[in-house]
A = this chain, B = another copy of it.
Amino acid sequence: MRYGNPWIQQRLIEEGLRITEARRVILGILGKTLQHLSAEEIYFIVRRINPSIGFATVYRTLDLLTKMGIVQKFEFGDGRARYELTGGMEKKSHHHHLICTKCRKIIDYADFIDEEKELINKTEKALIKKYRFDIKNHIINFYGLCEDCRKT
């Protein structure tokens, strides 16, 4: 009950969902990491904290949180999804990705998004109006070869 972002707890309660040990642990992990974790990676960390939590619960929790918009699911093309807390309410703020298609290195960048932000907002508004979508978030990924892989 302690621990955890009150906003997220709020959201769970709103939906009649429960704040369980597994959810607390998983949210704790997502709130602390600076990386994009796969379900498996999250599961390994979960196990260290509470070995009685199962893999299926990790998947179900991530899925639930993703559908609620609390977590964002990324797929960078290696067939394994990664998960991150959506909001910028923790250490890590919103960022975009630079992905090497060869070695699969992923670089997060957030340095140019000041200019990007404005456009994204504008685009988002226009899309909302035109397509009547309720836009929750977005993904911007650039693909190419990283410095090392270019050389080869």
Contact = CB atoms under 8 A, between A and B. Distances in A.
Interface in A102-147: 102, 107, 109, 111-112, 115-116, 119, 122-124, 126-127, 130-147
A144 B135 contact: yes
A77 interface: yes
Interface string A51-84: 0000000000000001101001101110101000
Q: Is the interface of A mostly helix, strand, loop or mixed?
A: mixed
A150 interface: yes
A143 B126 CA distance: 14
B146 A142 contact: no
Q: In the complex this chain forms, how many copies of it are found? A: 2
Interface residues of A, number: 45
Given A115-B122, A131-B98, A150-B132, A140 B138 contact: yes
A144 B133 contact: yes
Contacts of A144: 133-137
B150 A130 contact: no
A67 B131 contact: no
Given A115-B119, A131-B107, A150-B132, A67 B101 contact: yes
A26 interface: no
Contacts of A126: 112
A85 to B, nearest CB: 15
12 contacts: A69-B101, A75-B75, A98-B127, A109-B131, A124-B142, A131-B147, A132-B150, A133-B145, A133-B150, A134-B144, A135-B142, A137-B143
